[in-house]
């Protein structure tokens, strides 16, 4: 982990710290003692690259790509990048971390505006706004068009985070029934918002009249609404994407509009922004388009500007407590003493996120004597558990706040005794709807030298390096199971890097855990599940 070195207050007093704002926003008051802030609105990229070496911090919106080229042009002086808004997909976070550059965002400031824009697109598509506007301007007074009412229809929301929750609230005001799919959000949030929970994306798609997506763009969400998913929607549905281009596949959306399967759609975001003049969206029927304007209101820009400027200036003074997207908050000594335990905690969290996402309780048990206060291991477990489901890149600074926001309760237990290892960390998550059977999943691990080892999966003892992909399979402890499984993997050319076998009692249920160098296709996983010696099989990526 890289700990960015920020300026000490002494340095600040002698030389003004320089901040360049290169994208359009309302930056508020630019006069702050000890700082020189240059607001340039839409600065051409070449100019940004040319001037950047003279600045300590850069503030952007989504227009400016903070890539390796920009970082190379910046040279040594740049230490903080502020993103006015939430999505950091225009910023190469890995490259920033590697150079010790702190990245901050302002995720709460534009969510009302973005949610209102999504509702606007829904209403516009329902009443054919863009079509009627275009025809009337062309001299055609077409009053034949019939729209649809929203009242008593069902809105499906994918992603019940900050913006999805506000959309749910506003939609209920329009008398829509709201159903959402978000496997990472605990049940109590759905209950609090009065939103019905869909168990899967397919279940959501088959029961809604309108669909709106509010997830970050991740490996999982890219293209998550494609031809197959659109076909699952009822004929005459409306689709809105005001999140990120590509969550709804562009070509599939155009096709579904042209075929008449969809009544209409609204988009605020494109895969490539700005789109080329021949982009298929531009000729699609009943498709309302805005130019990534979700955050473009006076109110949001005032909040975004004030928040991101404040955060960047605070960070330049060494206070990284607000909005840090990529910075660890630990000193070098603690990092040294906790050794591989932070890595272990993060891996245990990541495994659990795949075994039981959307839990409402997470409990960490520490066994044995740790060389330093093990509390950061809890944070690391949260980082792992929350990763992959939010734009905010959970890290050692923001993970506890994010967990609180999600309604994830934390508990920590310490046991002096560690019968099997010098130290052991066991993480348990519990989830499930209120009044229904609660599910729990437990994983545990230890550290050999600086390398994490998995020691426990559910009630089974294992010993395995948590690397790559782990295949977890259970069977009735019958002979021949291992051979059949490894033969099958061998026929696919998949190498087994490590294997552990655990069983609760002789002849009872047994658990195999295999680390694999490569992942499995859904068909391969199904073929394993279909083996007569296997009861269940699950693949997690560490
Ligand atoms: N159009 C705009 O101008 C504009 C403005 C602000 C935000 N945004 C975008 O809106 C989106 C939502 O922002 P937010 O602040 O609400 O984010 P958030 O992190 O608060 O919420 C995202 C939600 O998506 C859920 N999620 C993640 N992966 C999922 C998956 N595979 N399936 C279902 N749910 C999943 C998460 O659990 C989380 O609850 C982001 O893409 C953001 O960049 C766009
Ligand atoms: O204002 C912007 O540039 C982008 C707004 C929005 O997409 C965000 O990520 O906050």
Residue 86 Cβ inside 6 Å of ligand 2? The answer reads: yes
Low-confidence residues of the chain: pLDDT under 50: 1-5, 7-12
What's the confidence (pLDDT) of residue 3? 36
Tokens of 464: 């395995």
Residues in Cβ contact with 523 at an 8 Å cutoff, skipping those fewer than 6 apart = none
What's the confidence (pLDDT) of residue 499? 84
What's the confidence (pLDDT) of residue 476? 73
Do 196 and 190 form a contact (C-beta atoms < 8 A)?
yes
Strand (E) or helix (H) holding 381:
helix 375-386
Residue 162 Cβ inside 6 Å of ligand 2? The answer reads: no
Residue 320 Cβ inside 6 Å of ligand 1? The answer reads: no
Residue 215 Cβ inside 6 Å of ligand 1? The answer reads: yes
Residue 111 Cβ inside 6 Å of ligand 1? The answer reads: yes
ipTM higher than threshold 0.95: yes
What's the confidence (pLDDT) of residue 424? 96
- The CA 432 to ligand 2 mean position distance, Å, reads 33
| Candidate from 24, 60, 87, 162 with most ligand 2 atoms within 8 A of CB, to mutate | 87
- The CA 213 to ligand 1 mean position distance, Å, reads 8
Distance CA 475, CA 360 (A): 29
What's the confidence (pLDDT) of residue 350? 94
Tokens of 89: 């997909």
- The CA 200 to ligand 2 mean position distance, Å, reads 28
Give phi and psi for 297, each to the nearest 5. -130, 160
pTM, entire model: 0.76
What's the confidence (pLDDT) of residue 474? 86
Judged by DSSP in three states, 75 sits in coil
- The CA 391 to ligand 2 mean position distance, Å, reads 12
Identify which ligand lies nearest to the alpha carbon of 84.
2
Q: Is 279 a catalytic residue?
A: no
What's the confidence (pLDDT) of residue 336? 79
Entry field: residues in the chain: 542
Nearest ligand 2 atom, CA 23 = 3
Exposed, middle or buried by CB within 10 Å (0-12, 13-18, 19+), for 22?
buried
Identify which ligand lies nearest to the alpha carbon of 307.
2
| C-beta atoms surrounding 318 within 10 Å | 12
What's the confidence (pLDDT) of residue 372? 86
- The CA 242 to ligand 1 mean position distance, Å, reads 10
Q: Is 273 a catalytic residue?
A: yes
Distance CA 342, CA 1 (A): 10
Identify which ligand lies nearest to the alpha carbon of 83.
2
Distance CA 167, CA 241 (A): 12
**HEC assignment per residue over 96-148:** HHHCCCEEEECCCCCHHHHHHHHHHHHHHHHCCHHHHHHHHHCCCCCCCCCCC
Q: What is the residue with the minimal CA distance to atom 5 of ligand 2?
A: 295
Catalytic residue among 51, 79, 170, 292: 292
Tokens of 293: 């304007």
What's the confidence (pLDDT) of residue 327? 59
Residue 326 Cβ inside 6 Å of ligand 2? The answer reads: no
Cα 218 to the chain's mean position, in Å? 6
- Crossing angle of the two packed helices 341-355 and 375-386, in degrees rounded to 10: 40
Catalytic residue among 220, 272, 273, 414: 273
The alpha carbon dihedral of 285, 288, 291, 292 has a sign of negative
Residue 84 Cβ inside 6 Å of ligand 1? The answer reads: no
| Candidate from 25, 157, 163 with most ligand 1 atoms within 8 A of CB, to mutate | 163
What's the confidence (pLDDT) of residue 501? 79
What's the confidence (pLDDT) of residue 5? 38
Residue 295 Cβ inside 6 Å of ligand 2? The answer reads: yes
Identify which ligand lies nearest to the alpha carbon of 308.
2
Distance CA 384, CA 382 (A): 5
Cα distance from N-terminal residue to C-terminal residue, the chain: 18
Catalytic residue among 18, 131, 244, 458: 244
Q: Is 116 a catalytic residue?
A: no
Distance CA 80, CA 400 (A): 22
């Amino acid at each position: 982990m890289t700990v960015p070195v920020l300026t000490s207050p002494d340095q600040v007093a002698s030389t003004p710290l320089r901040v360049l704002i290169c994208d359009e926003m309302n930056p508020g008051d630019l006069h702050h003692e000890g700082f020189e802030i240059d607001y340039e609105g839409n600065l051409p990229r070449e100019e940004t690259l040319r001037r950047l070496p003279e600045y300590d911090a850069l503030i952007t919106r989504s227009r400016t790509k903070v890539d390796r080229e920009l970082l190379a042009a910046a040279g040594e002086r740049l230490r903080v990048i502020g993103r006015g808004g939430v999505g950091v997909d225009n910023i190469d976070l890995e490259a920033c971390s590697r150079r010790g550059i702190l990245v901050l965002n302002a995720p709460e400031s534009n969510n009302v505006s973005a949610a209102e824009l999504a509702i606007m697109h829904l209403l516009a598509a329902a009443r054919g706004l863009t079509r009627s506007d275009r025809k009337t301007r062309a001299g055609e007074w077409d009053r034949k068009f019939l729209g649809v009412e929203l009242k008593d229809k069902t809105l499906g929301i994918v992603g019940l985070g900050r913006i999805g929750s506000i959309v749910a609230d506003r939609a209920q005001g329009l008398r829509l029934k709201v159903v959402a799919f978000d496997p990472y959000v605990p049940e109590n949030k759905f209950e609090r918002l009065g939103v019905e929970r869909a168990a899967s994306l397919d279940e959501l798609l088959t029961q809604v009249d309108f669909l709106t997506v509010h997830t970050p763009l991740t490996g999982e969400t890219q293209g998550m609404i494609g031809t197959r998913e659109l076909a699952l929607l009822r004929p005459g549905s409306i689709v809105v994407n005001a999140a990120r281009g590509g969550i709804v596949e562009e070509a599939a959306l155009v096709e579904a509009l042209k075929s008449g399967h969809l009544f209409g759609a609204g988009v605020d975001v494109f895969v490539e922004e700005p789109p080329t003049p021949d982009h298929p969206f531009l000729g699609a029927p009943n498709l309302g388009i805005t130019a990534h304007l979700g955050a473009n209101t006076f109110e949001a820009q005032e909040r975004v500007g004030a928040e991101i400027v404040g955060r960047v200036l605070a960070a330049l003074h060494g206070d990284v407590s607000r909005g840090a997207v990529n910075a660890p908050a630990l000193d070098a000594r603690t990092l040294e003493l906790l050794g591989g335990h932070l890595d272990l905690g993060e891996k245990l969290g990541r495994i659990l996120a795949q075994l039981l996402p959307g839990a409402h309780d997470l409990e960490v048990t520490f066994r044995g004597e740790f060389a330093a206060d093990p509390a950061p291991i809890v944070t690391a477990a949260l980082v792992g558990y929350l990763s992959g489901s939010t734009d905010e890149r959970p890290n050692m600074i923001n993970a506890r706040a994010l967990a609180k926001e999600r309604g994830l309760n934390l508990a920590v237990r310490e046991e002096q005794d560690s019968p099997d290892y010098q130290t052991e960390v066991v993480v348990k998550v519990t989830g499930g709807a209120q009044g229904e059977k609660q599910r729990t999943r437990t994983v545990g691990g230890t550290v050999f030298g600086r390398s994490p080892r998995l020691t426990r999966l559910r009630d089974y003892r294992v010993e395995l390096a948590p690397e790559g992909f782990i295949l977890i399979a259970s069977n009735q402890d019958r002979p021949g199971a291992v051979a059949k499984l490894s033969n099958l993997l061998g026929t696919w050319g998949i190498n087994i890097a490590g294997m552990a076998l655990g069983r609760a009692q002789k002849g009872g249920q047994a658990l195999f855990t295999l680390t694999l160098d490569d992942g499995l296709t859904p068909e391969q996983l199904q073929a394993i599940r279909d083996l007569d010696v296997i009861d269940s099989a699950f693949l997690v990526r560490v």
